[in-house]
Chain A
Amino acid sequence: MDTVAADGLLAWSWLLIALPLAGAAVLLLGGRRTDRWGHLLGTGTVVTAFVLGLLCTLQLADAGGRPVSVELWTFIETGSLDVPVGLLFDPLSAVFVLLITGVGALIHIYSIGYMAHDPRRRRFFAYLNLFVAAMLLLVLGDNFVVLYVGWEGVGLASYLLIAFWHERPAAATAAKKAFIMNRVGDVGLALAIFLMFAQLGTVTYDGVFGSVGALAGGTVTAIGLLLLLGACGKSGQFPLQAWLPDAMEGPTPVSALIHAATMVTAGVYLIARSAPIYDETPTARAVVLAVGAITLLIGAIVGCAQDDIKKVLAYSTVSQIGYMFLAVGLGPAGYVAGLAHLLTHGFFKAGLFLGAGSVMHAMNDAVDMRRFGGLASRMRITFVTFGLGYLALIGFPFLSGFYTKDAIIEAAFDRGDGWGYVLGGVAILAAGLTAFYMTRLMLMTFFGRPRWDEGVHPHESPSVMTAPMVLLALGSVLAGYLLVVAFPLEEWLVPVFGRPEAAEHVVAPLVVSALVTVVMLLGVASAWMFVGRREVPVTAPARVSPVVLAARRALYADTVNESLFMRPGQWLTRALVFLDNRGVDGAVNGLAAALGGSSSRLGRTQTGFVRSYALGMLGGAVVVAGALLAVTAG
């Protein structure tokens, strides 16, 4: 990939990051003085960044999409260690910049209404700005270290925003869970970067991708798998998916922006960006495929049995990102399809979340769909915009999801081998499940007899909230057509991924589309059969089949976490302190609890007596001397 130095407006592209960052700084440091106009400043910086991003993209398009590098300064430069800080504005980062600032701006505007009565609104906008800045840094950096900085930054912002209503215990717990599971992924990313450094001596995209082919196969696979671990943590993919649904404890605009449209797709970005690495390692690429396929199925199954409107959407996000992982795991044939789905998903899922927020706003912050019903007539705009997002998500013909999801399924079949059929089959099955759970959501929320709690008087939201919803609904309708047919994303991304060979279709695209549409209609119909035709019970029925029970319990993901992390942690504790067999409590952050347990027990060696300290030192000295003698003698 040869880059040219930035000129014109592109030389100012660092302002994209600096603007929201400055907004966050002013809001955080300015204190109460900024309470009155803080939200406007926060929104303004992101809108300006969007305009700037749009102009930059136009300039890039004028120049034929040739990647542009912006050297900022040298972070570390010594004889053997060289980490420059620079930005890379290429077609891939350009689409992310537009997604982040575009959807980000709409959600900032929506939040003005949504958070109007919150006493800490200024802080909320500060965190949102911080997030936008970090996310832009993540996608604009020209090396893995800058990406890592952005990666940690979005993690921090996400943590702060999930815990925004920290007086609710569930929010605090969810934030902690997200933090810990993300750390697991981050360790993977950090190790991958160290490995690149050790083996290649560089971390810039140019340097790494240029020389990765010379590495031993095992090393490349290790790098690929470690990057994947990082991606799984951030994107809520199997086996690190459990934090994402819990993250819905945060305010709804946060769920829309961070946990649906942008941050959780960072994993997809990482894998797409690292395409040259995965080109060298079929093993790691196969694991990406497997992760994507497993996750998209898990998400879809669990989504069918949830009663919390935001949780349904969250599992839907997990499942849709699974589609994207599946696509980028397919290699060159799937990159564009995955990224196109990422963009359309950004539109319709953000729109759906904002719609859900609007519903919650009307229902006194209730989230249980069993207490909704009949809202279609009370909330016209919400119903229509939400409905369009719903049709786009389930892949209704000629709406966004139809174009991009079908492209992924086609690419899966185009593998041509048996696995291609399996993956394609799984993807089609999940498309049917998607139609089922989304139709169930629509029916329980907008149709049927009202099952509202007493004292709830649903009303349409103010226009500052509905306007972004309308715009996103328009995007949900049109984005697929625009990205696939009118202005093909494939052409735009040629400078990044090269021109893929024309695929030989194993199954004709028309057949795939027909098949997917039929399965989708089956899903809708069965939802009607099971949910629409009869009365929805206000409390969830207790006597259900084991399958439904498993789905309600999120396929026992927490139980698995418990037995994978918490139990071994406990055993470790017991091994350390063989007398103690009391369990360590704390179900969610088992690992931390186990460490804490061993900590307090290990801490008992700190008796305060000089004699025991001296004995410890003597013991240590004997071990040191013995070890040295052993090494020498051996």
Chain B
Amino acid sequence: MIEAPDLSLAALAPLLFVFGAACLGVLVEAFGPRERRHAVQVTLALVGTLGGLVTSLLLAGEREVTAAGALAVDGPAVFLQATITGLGALAILLFAERSLDPARSAFVAAAAVPVGSPRDRELMTAPRVQTEVYPLATFAIGGMMLFVAANDLLIMFVALEVLSLPLYLISGLARRRRLLSQEAAVKYFLLGAFASAFFLYGLALVYGATGSIGLADIRAATTESGSDVLLVLGLALLIVGLMFKASVAPFHAWTPDVYQGAPTPVTAFMAACTKVAAFGAILRLLYVAFGTSEWTWRPLVYGIAIISMVVGAVLALTQTDLKRMLAYSSIAHAGFLLTGVIGLSPDGGGSGLAATMFYLLAYGLTTVGAFAVLTLVRDGDGEASHLSQWAGLARRSPLTAAVMALFLLALAGIPLTSGFTGKFAVFRAAIEDGAWPLVVVAVLASAVAAFFYLRVIVLMYFSEPAEDGPTVAVPGLPTTIVLAVTVTATLVLGIAPGAVLDIAEQAAIFVG
């Protein structure tokens, strides 16, 4: 007879909240009256994510392993879960914005209708809206929360799939430029499946080498047996799978295409939340399972960090599309985040973990804000994301330009913005660990990166606006809330980040 594992419901409350909301969302989709569905779904998704946020905040200080060792509820898990739910709620607000597009929503009403068919043209003007995105996004958020708390590799894999599958779907749901969006979805799906296969194969090899899938057991086995080829190969494949999700070069190729093709609210969601989740899993895997054999992977992560920073910063220089530019910027930021990963001492202490978590929070908030601004600048074909269309934007709409300039400065890491505090924290952590050369490269890469961020600012402020330039839409309530929150957070985390850094520092202990 199999006994049910002991579940600590209190510790799982955030997960239950979010997954509960997602399941309810499916039921609403099936049985709810169509005309009220949108309002109900938005409310449900927000209640789920905000409920998850509140419950995870209440869990602060909790340290336990539950569900037969499959889930760890510890400082990093709770901090990152709160980050994911908070950013997720902001993204859901962007999904719910209906006053920007004349066709009301950023999502196509019926994705299966072929592009350009008579039915498609009919839909363009029909008042129907798509509401499946809300339960899908909520499921993805739940998967991400599970991902950062997974304490064994199998749960980690399940969480990876739970978060990925809804993302593949909603990437393909753009109302405008549908072919581009669908192409992005297929690419993301194919490459994501490829990466999942790497992860799964790595999992199998590690199991073969250690006889266990639990992170703590793997740690014990590696300490005992040292390293053998199976284990090392397994680790390599696991790293590849996770780095793909975190869009780290050289596993980044999907990022620009998918970021550009997906509906912008979805891009904001992916850029912020997926990054947090993937780095949460990377940190847990490397330090909980392989912390004692860190000398094997440290040089590798070191090298990957450099490649990612350089590739992201250099390639972003010549981008002419803002969404693509932000995609490359996210690749460079993944490299900066890895410098924080390096700055973590083998016992899981050190300032690297806190620094990385703070960076993830700061970067996530800024990125959601930046993409939110992108949804506002529009021309007849939807969003105007080509760089040339942003020329002289400051003259047309000084406030929008100022907000965007703030986000770009934060991404560039200019002092008094959250980006500077984050970079400062991770670089310092890496230096404490003696990773000097890495930080030199990182500082140089930031200098290069500053150039392309500032170029957009210069373009907005110092160029003549084009004759038939885009218009700046007046944001509705949801987008206004998102912008207010992200602007405030970017400034507060830049000027007085002490309190949040403190919280991150206190949360920065893995449960073994």
Contact = CB atoms under 8 A, between A and B. Distances in A.
- Do these two chains interact? yes
A186 B195 CA distance: 40
A617 B300 contact: no
B431 A617 contact: no
Contact of B296 (A31, A79, A603, A628): A628
B501 A78 contact: yes
A486 interface: no
A163 interface: yes
B497 interface: yes
Contacts of B237: 621, 625
A103 to B, nearest CB: 26
Given A74-B498, A627-B299, A627-B303, A617 B240 contact: yes
Give the interface centre of A74, A627, A632 by most chain B CB atoms within 10 Å: A632
A625 B398 CA distance: 51
B251 interface: yes
Interface string A163-196: 1001000001000000110010011001100100
Contact of B447 (A73, A187, A621): A187
B250 A614 contact: no
A422 interface: no
Most buried by B among A78, A190, A631: A78
Contact of A616 (B186, B253, B295, B300): B253
Contacts of B126: none
Contacts of A186: 447
B128 interface: no
Contacts of A619: 250
A149 interface: yes
B250 A198 contact: no
Contacts of B191: 610, 613-614, 617
A38 to B, nearest CB: 15
B61 interface: no
Interface in B238-289: 239-240, 244, 250-251, 253-254, 256-257
A617 B195 contact: yes
Contacts of A632: 227, 229, 232, 296
Interface string A596-634: 101110110110101011101101110111011101100
B311 interface: yes
A135 to B, nearest CB: 15
Nearest to B355: A81
Contact of A599 (B314, B425, B436, B498): B314
Contacts of A198: 428, 431-432, 436
Q: Is the interface of A mostly helix, strand, loop or mixed?
A: helix
Nearest to A611: B190
Interface in B304-323: 304, 311, 314-318
A514 interface: no
A149 B425 contact: no
Nearest to B496: A73
A614 B190 contact: yes
A14 interface: no
A597 B236 CA distance: 33
Interface in A78-99: 78-81
Nearest to A617: B251
Contacts of A616: 250, 253
Residue of A31, A149, A596, A620 contacting most chain B CB atoms (<10 Å): A620
B435 to A, nearest CB: 10
Given A75-B497, A152-B414, A628 B232 contact: yes
A75 B498 contact: yes
A163 B462 contact: yes
A623 B250 CA distance: 10
B98 interface: no
Given A617-B191, A632-B232, A632-B296, A149 B416 contact: yes
B53 to A, nearest CB: 23
A148 interface: yes
A606 B253 contact: yes
A592 interface: yes
Contacts of B443: 187, 190-191, 194
Interface in B465-512: 495-498, 501-502, 504-505
A529 interface: no
B17 interface: no
B131 interface: no
Nearest to A172: B462
Contacts of A629: 229, 232-233, 236
Contacts of A149: 415-416
Contacts of A163: 458, 462
Contact of B250 (A166, A620, A625): A620
Given A596-B318, A620-B250, A627-B303, 9 more contacts: A149-B415, A166-B462, A186-B447, A194-B427, A599-B316, A613-B254, A624-B239, A625-B236, A628-B236
The 5 residue pairs across chains A and B that have the minimum distance between CB atoms: A613-B253, A620-B250, A625-B236, A599-B317, A198-B431
Interface of B: 186-187, 190-191, 194-195, 198, 227, 229, 232-233, 235-237, 239-240, 244, 250-251, 253-254, 256-257, 295-297, 299-300, 303-304, 311, 314-318, 351, 354, 398, 414-416, 421, 424-425, 427-428, 431-432, 436, 439-440, 443-444, 447-448, 450-451, 454, 458, 462, 495-498, 501-502, 504-505
